[in-house]
């Protein structure tokens, strides 16, 4: 009976955090591949991003048509899905273009990392203010995102190869750290009684 409850908690956790889990796995895999061979796996990495964007786009369009017309009209699932599919196709068919302009994309990636870092910083503050556990890990994760984001975005002296390698390192570290936070969250959730969790 206890193991059944544990299984239900794990399944609920996976359902609530599936996107974070996928993102952590993607960052770890992408980081490892970029470190193994940046030149070869750079194109492969761009194509994988393209496939993921297409899948997200298809998911949004399906969600649009499955929703009631009144509900669908309030959002932008169809246009967002079409945009994701278009960008995804461009990633797959024009991957060499991405490699050629990678320094510019690296700067954009760095800026995105800075934005993600500020978002993580807010989540750290939220966790701290609500007196929830793991705020220290969230703070470190936010610091990593901000540090690497600023280093990538505002370092014009890096060569293309060193940008690839550094991007791979940052992805790997951030992915591992995010995975650790998810595991710690699951453990903390498992330790708390049901009435406290609710």
Instruction: Report yes or no on 6 lying in a domain.
Output: no
Q: Which domain holds residue 44?
A: 11-193
Domain count, the chain: 1
Residue 50 · residue 88 · CB < 8 Å: yes
* Residue 141 lies inside a defined structural domain of this protein: yes
Is 30 part of a structural domain of the chain?
yes
- Please report whether residue 119 resides in a domain: yes
List the alpha helices (DSSP H) in the chain: 2-36, 38-66, 69-74, 77-93, 95-100, 102-129, 135-153, 160-191, 194-197
Q: What span, in angstroms and rounded, lies between the C-alpha atoms of 39 and 156?
A: 20
Across residues 101-122, what is the average pLDDT? 81
**pLDDT tens, residue by residue, 13-30:** 777 777 778 878 888 888
In a domain, 68, yes or no: yes
Classify residue 97: in a domain, yes or no. yes
Going by pLDDT thresholds of 50, 70 and 90, the confidence category of residue 52 is confident
Is residue 124 one of the residues assigned to a domain? yes
Identify the band that residue 138 occupies on the pLDDT scale cut at 50, 70 and 90. Answer: confident
16: in domain: yes
């Amino acid at each position: 009976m206890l193991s059944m409850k544990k299984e239900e908690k794990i399944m609920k956790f996976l359902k609530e955090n599936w996107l974070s889990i996928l993102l952590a796995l993607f960052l770890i895999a992408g980081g490892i591949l970029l470190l193994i061979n940046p030149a070869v796996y750079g194109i492969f990495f761009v194509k994988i991003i393209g496939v993921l964007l297409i899948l997200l786009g298809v998911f949004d369009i399906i969600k649009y048509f499955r929703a009631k017309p009144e509900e669908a009209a309030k959002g932008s699932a169809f246009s967002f899905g079409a945009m994701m599919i278009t960008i995804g196709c461009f990633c797959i068919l024009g991957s060499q273009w991405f490699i050629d302009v990678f320094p510019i994309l690296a700067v954009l990636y760095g800026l995105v990392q800075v934005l993600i870092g500020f978002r993580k910083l807010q989540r750290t503050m939220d966790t701290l203010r609500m007196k929830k556990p793991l705020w220290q890990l969230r703070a470190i994760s936010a610091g990593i995102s901000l540090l690497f984001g600023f280093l990538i975005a505002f370092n014009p002296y890096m060569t293309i190869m060193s940008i690839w390698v550094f991007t791979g390192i940052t992805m790997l570290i951030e992915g591992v750290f995010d995975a650790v936070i998810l595991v710690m969250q699951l453990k903390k959730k498992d330790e708390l009684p049901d009435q406290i969790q609710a």
